Amino acid sequence: MNEWNSSLPLSSLELIEPKEVEALAEANVHVLEDLLNWFPRRYEDRRRFDAFPVQVTGEPVCLRGMVVDSARKRFGGRRQFYEVVVEGSGDSLLSTSRITCRWFNMPYLHRMVAVGHEVVIYGKPKEQGSRMVIDHPEFEVVQDDEGSSVHLERIVPIYRNISGIPARRLRELLYEVVGRHELEWGEGRSPVFGDCSRGEMLRDVHFPDEMDKARFARRKFALEEFFLLQLRVLWRRQRFRSQPGRIQGRKTGLLRSFHESLPFDLTDAQKRSVHEITADLRSERPMNRLLQGDVGSGKTFVAMGAMILVVESGSQSALMAPTQILAEQHYLTFSKWLSPLGIRVALVTGSRKESDHLDLEGDPQIVIGTHALLYDNVNFTDLGLVVIDEQHKFGVTQRSKLIQQGTIPDVLVMTATPIPRTLTLTMYGDLDVSVLDELPAGRGKIITGMRQKPKVSDVTKFLREQLGSGRQGYIVYPLVEESEAVRASSAKGEVEKWTKRLRDYEVGLLHGKMKPEEKEEVMSRFRDNEIQVLVATTVVEVGVDVPNANVMVIYNAERFGLAQLHQLRGRIGRGPHQSYCILATDGKSEEGKRKLQILEKTTDGFRIAEEDLTLRGPGEVLGTAQSGMSDMRFVEFLADAGLVREARQLAEEALAHDPELEESPGLRKRVEESQRDA
Ligand code: ADP
Ligand code: MG
């Protein structure tokens, strides 16, 4: 018999039929380890089943019983469904131990479940007339002639389906495989398991005696995944830092003049960040730093400082923004503050020709643009610093592309999306972090209120009051319709209505379908207070900075994510006036209301991010491909701060003890493979 190691091809196991090997391969399960890594998605405790429900609780139940009736039916003459009645074998005469199961449009099901079958069913019951019904329950027909120790009288693993392999068969396969000894292998071995046996942990994941054991073991495997992730991140960081970087930022005269020219003092958090960045610039190691801070916390002015330091050292700086509006806004801000200091600033965006803008006397010292900066037309003579705004909108590859131009520049990444600390460690674990955890003084408070179907007349009255005292406002509509075109026209319709309601004031429109020039025109008229109210889709989300605007009404607020609402709200509260954010909702969804209540309670972005994480889970919060987390197996554990920190620490220890991982060739191989993929 073959040696049972992790990379043993499944085709070499007699246990598995060639057809099954094919089916498994379709699901990307090729070798023994792949199969063992096919973890249960849930468990059923089939030592004791739930009682047949008599009322709806919203919780799923797991029942065992006998099929006593079945029928194929039609719904309103069209939709076909198959229905069976399952009766509990329990001795309770009091409860109605019957439940109806229905499956729609699955015509072959009557061949799988029929009268006389004993079944285990799992699903959420609902009430229908006098009956309890489960639509599309998961089910398994009990066969007591074989394998009851695998499928019954124990905690049973329920796996994700592999097409071509019945659920019971898959469970039996895993039972066999897990039952073999020798599941300890050296290759890629991590220090995560410590004194625990990895083989035993695998057994506990697949066929646990107790749920606690399964949980404990899963956590161990999650820790292993996170450990490997941290090892890669720290490895990358180690590589990056070992490259020769630039020593710059020694002279600070220009920076001092800049700070003296500002009408305000930097906040302590800004000063701290400038210090941290200065130290990085001066170090011969390349900088790779994340500047994290809520909207309006003053990140731009920190970045400006960094760029000035580099300019004074005789090199160029580039600032990359995620949208054209934002790039243009940055350009205006930079020109306003830096031109008086004699610094040459240029704007490069997709829609504008380089020649229009790079015609300044001499090379520009600071170049601002969108991702167009990455492609062709801009040739930097000597790029010393790259600042990337709103990192989460860029893929990692884009980041490295700009960085590849010339000798490695220092890199500063800015994000206004407050990310819980644990996620930062994972997503940006190769970066050093500076945090702006303090807003500049003299900002008016933002009062946020959720309103259920507010009356138009009330909203209008409130807006007129604020406009009457000289303020401006936003009215935001979300993605009510699928297409941007439809959405734009609905926002257009709203503009007409608001124009009538807010007579005497100018109402403008901003949406994603507008040409960049049109957008810029509307924005500049809003900035100049020629437009008092901006009706907008979410394009106002980033970068709009009009301190005089103090009201925001968000319609269908429940449709936005928490983070997005927080970003939107960040457009107000930028000036000294008290600001108001009205979250209008139809109030139908409880979850939606809970979300909006969080915003009523706090304006602290980090707290909101934490709440978002618990509300939606890490997978949702991070999004998919962009975050580079899409192939993680244990995403749900990202919310487990203790676990993430433990993984980080284990990885740090491993590298401190053995920086090149020479003693663990298996680990080193894994890490190197992942770098190549990236
Ligand atoms: P962010 O980029 O973090 O959203 P900005 O750098 O654009 O924030 O700053 C937001 C607003 O606050 C700007 O209008 C800016 O002029 C102002 N600002 C920045 N730093 C300070 C400060 N230390 N004191 C007062 N106002 C500040
Ligand atoms: Mg440096």
Residue among 216, 210, 278 at smallest CA distance from 249: 278
Mean pLDDT (whole number) for 583-598: 89
Tell me which residue has its CA closest to atom 9 in ligand 1: 298
Ligand nearest to the CA of 408: 2
Answer yes or no: are the C-beta atoms of 320 and 347 closer than 8 Å: no
Ligand nearest to the CA of 285: 2
Rounded to the nearest whole angstrom, what is the distance from the C-alpha of residue 360 to the centroid of ligand 2?
28
The atom number, within ligand 1, closest to the CA of 266 reads 23
Alpha carbons 97 and 89: distance in angstroms, whole number? 8
Pocket test for ligand 1, best of 267, 273, 291, 301 (most atoms within 8 A of CB): 301
Rounded to the nearest whole angstrom, what is the distance from the C-alpha of residue 479 to the centroid of ligand 1?
30
Residue 633 in this model has a pLDDT that exceeds 80: no
Predicted confidence (pLDDT) per residue in 85-107, tens digit? 999 876 555 556 899 999 988 87
Q: Helix, strand or coil for residue 255?
A: helix
Rounded to the nearest whole angstrom, what is the distance from the C-alpha of residue 599 to the centroid of ligand 1?
22
Tell me which residue has its CA closest to atom 18 in ligand 1: 298
Angle between helices 268-282 and 299-312 (to 10 degrees): 30
Tell me which residue has its CA closest to atom 20 in ligand 1: 298
Rounded to the nearest whole angstrom, what is the distance from the C-alpha of residue 627 to the centroid of ligand 1?
28
Q: Is 305 exposed, middle or buried (0-12, 13-18, 19+ CB in 10 A)?
A: buried
Mean pLDDT (whole number) for 425-438: 84
Residues constituting the chain:
678
The atom number, within ligand 1, closest to the CA of 270 reads 23
Residue 537 in this model has a pLDDT that exceeds 70: yes
Rounded to the nearest whole angstrom, what is the distance from the C-alpha of residue 264 to the centroid of ligand 1?
9
Predicted confidence (pLDDT) per residue in 646-668, tens digit? 999 999 999 999 998 888 888 88
The atom number, within ligand 1, closest to the CA of 265 reads 23
Rounded to the nearest whole angstrom, what is the distance from the C-alpha of residue 275 to the centroid of ligand 2?
13
Mean pLDDT (whole number) for 107-135: 91
Residue 504 in this model has a pLDDT that exceeds 50: yes
Predicted confidence (pLDDT) per residue in 270-319, tens digit? 999 999 999 999 998 999 899 998 878 899 999 999 999 999 999 999 99
pLDDT (0 to 100) of residue 611: 84
Pocket test for ligand 1, best of 290, 297, 300, 329 (most atoms within 8 A of CB): 300
Extract the runs of DSSP E, i.e. beta strands, from 370-445.
Answer: 383-389, 410-415, 432-436
The atom number, within ligand 1, closest to the CA of 303 reads 6
DSSP state, residue 220: H
- Ordered by where they begin, the domains of the chain are 1-47+154-186 (no CATH), 49-144 (2.40.50.140), 253-436 (3.40.50.300), 446-622 (3.40.50.300)
Alpha carbons 310 and 366: distance in angstroms, whole number? 9
3-state secondary structure 567-615: HHHCCCCCCCCCEEEEEEECCCCHHHHHHHHHHHHCCCHHHHHHHHHHH
Tell me which residue has its CA closest to atom 26 in ligand 1: 440
The atom number, within ligand 1, closest to the CA of 299 reads 3
Q: Which residue has the tokens 């997503």?
A: 427
pLDDT (0 to 100) of residue 66: 92
The winner for highest mean pLDDT among 253-267, 397-411, 511-525 is 253-267
pLDDT (0 to 100) of residue 590: 83
Ligand nearest to the CA of 280: 2
Predicted confidence (pLDDT) per residue in 266-283, tens digit? 999 999 999 999 999 999
Rounded to the nearest whole angstrom, what is the distance from the C-alpha of residue 285 to the centroid of ligand 2?
5
Residue 431 in this model has a pLDDT that exceeds 70: yes
Task: Quote the tokens at residue 290.
Answer: 């994340």
The winner for highest mean pLDDT among 34-43, 412-421, 486-495, 514-523 is 34-43
Rounded to the nearest whole angstrom, what is the distance from the C-alpha of residue 291 to the centroid of ligand 1?
14
Single-letter amino acid, residue 44: E
Alpha carbons 300 and 285: distance in angstroms, whole number? 24
Rounded to the nearest whole angstrom, what is the distance from the C-alpha of residue 606 to the centroid of ligand 2?
29
Rounded to the nearest whole angstrom, what is the distance from the C-alpha of residue 17 to the centroid of ligand 2?
59
Task: Quote the tokens at residue 291.
Answer: 């500047």
Ligand nearest to the CA of 250: 2
Residue among 327, 239, 320, 328 at smallest CA distance from 285: 239
The atom number, within ligand 1, closest to the CA of 300 reads 6
Helical spans, DSSP H, in 105-252: 148-151, 167-179, 198-206, 211-242
Tell me which residue has its CA closest to atom 19 in ligand 1: 298
pLDDT (0 to 100) of residue 187: 47
Mean pLDDT (whole number) for 528-537: 92
List, chain by chain if needed, residues with CB within 6 Å of any ligand 1 atom: 264, 266-267, 270, 293, 295-301, 416, 440, 545, 547, 574
Rounded to the nearest whole angstrom, what is the distance from the C-alpha of residue 246 to the centroid of ligand 2?
4
pLDDT (0 to 100) of residue 169: 93
Residue 417 in this model has a pLDDT that exceeds 80: no
The atom number, within ligand 1, closest to the CA of 543 reads 4
Reported as a pLDDT band with limits 50, 70 and 90, residue 473 is very high
Alpha carbons 446 and 429: distance in angstroms, whole number? 33
Ligand nearest to the CA of 329: 1
Rounded to the nearest whole angstrom, what is the distance from the C-alpha of residue 570 to the centroid of ligand 1?
12
Reported as a pLDDT band with limits 50, 70 and 90, residue 358 is very low
Answer yes or no: are the C-beta atoms of 429 and 648 closer than 8 Å: yes
DSSP codes of every residue in 56-87: --SS-EEEEEEEEEEEEEEETTTEEEEEEEEE
- Percent of the chain past pLDDT 90, that is, above it, reads 44
pLDDT (0 to 100) of residue 480: 46
Mean pLDDT (whole number) for 230-234: 89
pLDDT: which is higher, 228 or 488: 228
Percentages helix, strand, coil for the chain (3-state, rounded to 5) are 45, 20, 40
pLDDT (0 to 100) of residue 180: 75
DSSP state, residue 382: S
The atom number, within ligand 1, closest to the CA of 297 reads 3
Rounded to the nearest whole angstrom, what is the distance from the C-alpha of residue 262 to the centroid of ligand 1?
11
Ligand nearest to the CA of 442: 1
Tell me which residue has its CA closest to atom 15 in ligand 1: 298
Inter-CA distances, 183 with 173, 532, 614, 659, Å:
15, 69, 35, 28
Alpha carbons 100 and 230: distance in angstroms, whole number? 49
The atom number, within ligand 1, closest to the CA of 574 reads 11
Predicted confidence (pLDDT) per residue in 359-415, tens digit? 445 788 999 988 777 665 566 778 899 998 876 554 454 555 555 555 688 989 898
Residue 554 in this model has a pLDDT that exceeds 50: yes
Mean pLDDT (whole number) for 3-24: 86
- Percent of the chain past pLDDT 70, that is, above it, reads 85
The atom number, within ligand 1, closest to the CA of 293 reads 3
Rounded to the nearest whole angstrom, what is the distance from the C-alpha of residue 299 to the centroid of ligand 1?
7
The atom number, within ligand 1, closest to the CA of 294 reads 3
pLDDT (0 to 100) of residue 438: 86
Tell me which residue has its CA closest to atom 23 in ligand 1: 266
